[in-house]
Each structure stands twice: as C-alpha cells, then as structure tokens.
Amino acid sequence: MFDMLLVLIAAAAQAGAVTASGKQASEASAAPPPTDTTAPVSMPHRAPPGYDLVFADEFNAGNKPDPSKWNYDRHRNAQGWFNNELQYYAANRSENARVENGRLIIEARHDGANLESESDYGGQEYSSVRLLTQGKAAWTYGFYEIRAKLPCGRGTWPAIWMLPEDPDVVWPDGGEIDIMEHVGYDPMVIHHSVHTKAFNFGRGTQKTTSHNLDTACTQFHRYQLLWTPDGLIFGVDDAPKFAFRKLRSGKSRWPFDEPMYLILNVAIGGDWGGRKGIDESALPQRMEIDHVRVYQLVEE
C-alpha cells in the first residue's frame, strides 16, 4: 500500500499538483490560492484494500448531531473567531445544526440581536456551527471520506479539515490538513491545503492547490483524504487533486504522525471568506453532509 502511495505522490508532484501559494490558514491570516486544475494519475476507490471502517455517521437517526460522535466548539465566541470571521458558533440550536432526511445540516444565518441571550455571545450578527470529533474520536493515518454539498452565498466559508488532538500544540506546529475549503464568492473552486511550521501562510510557504468543480453547490461530492506515514493524497469523487509527500523527517515539515480530529464548519466573512463582502440576502446558507466515514489499515 505504501509503495503504491509513493508512486501516486511522485506522479502527482511530477504533474505539478503539489504547489506552494497563498491561501488562508484557519488559525492565522488568510489569502486565497490560485487555481490549479492539474490532477495526478489515480486515486484509491473508496477505502484501499486492507482498510476497515473505524468511524461513521450516516445521519440516519435523531434530529441533531449525535453527541456520542460530535462536540460543539464555542471556545472563541466571546473573544471573536480567527481570521476576523464574523459568526457566532452555536450549540444545540436546531436553526444552525440539525439532522433531516438522512443529512446533517450546518446552516449559517443572519440573526442579529436574536443571539443576545447566549451566555458566551460576543456581539456577532451571524450564527453557524463548528462540529468536532475531538474528545470522541481522533486518528493517526487512514482514509477519510465526507460526502457534502456546499453553500455558495457570497461571504460563506465552509471547511472540512483536521487539527491535532493535543490541546497544548500551538498552530501551526502540529499541522493542519484542509480536506476541503471553499469561499462563496468563488463558487466553482475547491481548495485543498497543508500547513506545518515550515509550510504555512505566515512564511508564504504553505502547500495548497485549487481546482474547478462546477457543481460544488448543487450536487453532493465525496471529499477524500488518504493519509499514511509517507504522505497525503487529497481527492474528490475518487479523482486525486493534490499530493503532499513526506520528503524528510522533522516535525516542522511533517508533523502528521500524531492523532488529529475532524472539523466541520461554515464560517461567515473573515479575511478570505469575506474578501468580497457578505450577501445577506442570500442567507441562510447551508452545508449538507450525507456521510462521514473513516477507515484505517488493519494491523496484521
């Protein structure tokens, strides 16, 4: 399996899918990357052979996110969120997070004064949700697939991404894996990125790529990550889009040997998402998620 990964990553790098350019850092400053539509040669179809399902949510039960699988993150509501984002992240508020018709709905809204009764309210006019598997599930390596349909209102900033489980690690030392990012003012472009201490926005060295996906907001697509000790391959609907290879040891370049948890959120505004303003007439906007699946290689 690892030999196959190295072949795929080498092909992706030779094809030009590995790029370093300006994009947002989810816990730092923000700037969008250029578009790169180059794709490497192949992507494992669903989970590779030898991988077993270790976590899944098909959203077929209940009317709220399953508390045995998901936590609400509200820790920056009072102070304001990173990147000058403008949303309040709610918890147990059905207007912002609910399960209906077999899908998780994360909905961003313009609520104004309706949020003033919240105990950690920081004065935000917009509300949304940030869900974590932290404390419930975190993994080192694996194959990840999230089937989602994205919001496209100007000012929205949905993301499917990962951060280190260790709460004492300061960004970007522990790394960040952005399986999918999108900004509503550029509705047909998908972004995939990696941040580390050596490769991050502050140094202008982060590794990222972008590609067109015309139906990102009108159809469901499977956003995928294959993560092994040798590298990362990002894909959409089994087509590889970006590869990041472990070229040398050292956590500054490759911190990805420690557990990371998954994050699902829709931000509003911010240095990247709000670059062209917010279309309040387009709100509410929702990211719909059909399933989340995590597979890991079975130890023999």
Give the whole-angstrom CA distance, residue 196 versus residue 176: 7
181 catalytic? Reply is yes
Q: For residue 4, how many other CB atoms are within 10 A of its CB?
A: 14
In terms of Cα–Cα distance, which of 129, 141, 126, 134 is closest to 167? 134
CA separation, residue 16 to residues 70, 122, 211, 230, 285 (Å)? 37, 43, 13, 19, 34
288 catalytic? Reply is no
Give the whole-angstrom CA distance, residue 209 versus residue 101: 33
User: Which class for 282: exposed (0-12), middle (13-18), buried (19 or more C-beta within 10 A)?
Assistant: middle
**φ and ψ of 51, to 5 deg:** -100, 135
Give the whole-angstrom CA distance, residue 150 versus residue 72: 20
Residues 6+ apart with CB under 8 A from 184: 151, 152, 153, 154, 155, 156, 157, 273, 279, 282, 285
Q: Which of 85, 125, 181, 288 is catalytic?
A: 181
3 state DSSP class of 280: helix
Residue appearing with tokens 């995590």 = 294
Q: How many residues does the chain have?
A: 300
133, 55 Cβ separation under 8 angstroms: yes
Residue appearing with tokens 């990362």 = 232
Q: Which of 176, 288, 299, 300 is catalytic?
A: 176
Q: Report which secondary-structure segment, H or E, holds 56.
A: strand 51-57
Which residues are part of the catalytic machinery? 176, 181
